[in-house]
Chain A
Amino acid sequence: QKEVEQNSGPLSVPEGAIASLNCTYSDRGSQSFFWYRQYSGKSPELIMSIYSNGDKEDGRFTAQLNKASQYVSLLIRDSQPSDSATYLCAVNFSGGYNKLIFGAGTRLAVHP
């Protein structure tokens, strides 16, 4: 069973803090990893992709990948109320063509 696990939350952080979102996956052969943000009533929006072990930074967002531990995370620095959304982790499992397996998502609430 190919699985992607996320804590459903809600994760509540104060404005200006670092929000840390975590994701584990079951397939050791996975090569591509993505984070999507979904606002209520909207479609999922791709915000980060990561393919190699280590960190990848884009503005206030940093994705971290550890393939040995089968773990991928998303850090949001200087969190803003506008970051409040559900964050979906997605993994391209080996042998799955271009099919992504999505986690159930973590709801983030940033309070002023």
Chain B
Amino acid sequence: DAGVIQSPRHEVTEMGQEVTLRCKLISGHNSLFWYRQTMMRGLELLIYFNNNVPIDDSGMPEDRFSAKMPNASFSTLKIQPSEPRDSAVYFCASRGNEQFFGPGTRLTVL
């Protein structure tokens, strides 16, 4: 099992550009979580899906953020337009009985 896969691992972009982060779940898991982590705010839950259905998106900071889960194994988190304050590490996590994190995407918005 390859674990949770995230891409890209690093992203540097300019303010105003669209950013798309990708996540592949562990086979057989039915819940997916998107988190953001910064030194100032710690680990924040943005949104989570259960069986492809968004359950709670109250952590999504603004309408600039959107997430989709088009099938049982794949999800995207999109930021459009991006801003410097979006700079953070974004983690995807997959859960069956236990929850496992992907390696993260380090996003820098200049």
Contact = CB atoms under 8 A, between A and B. Distances in A.
Interface of A: 34, 36, 42-46, 49, 88, 90, 97-100, 102, 104-105
A88 B35 CA distance: 14
B98 interface: yes
Contacts, number: 42
A36 B35 CA distance: 15
B28 to A, nearest CB: 14
The binding surface of chain B is classed by DSSP as strand
Residue in A43, A45, A99, A105 whose Cβ sees the most chain B Cβ within 10 Å: A43
Interface residues of B, number: 19
A100 B50 CA distance: 13
Contacts of B99: 34, 46, 90, 98, 100
Contacts of A43: 91, 101-104
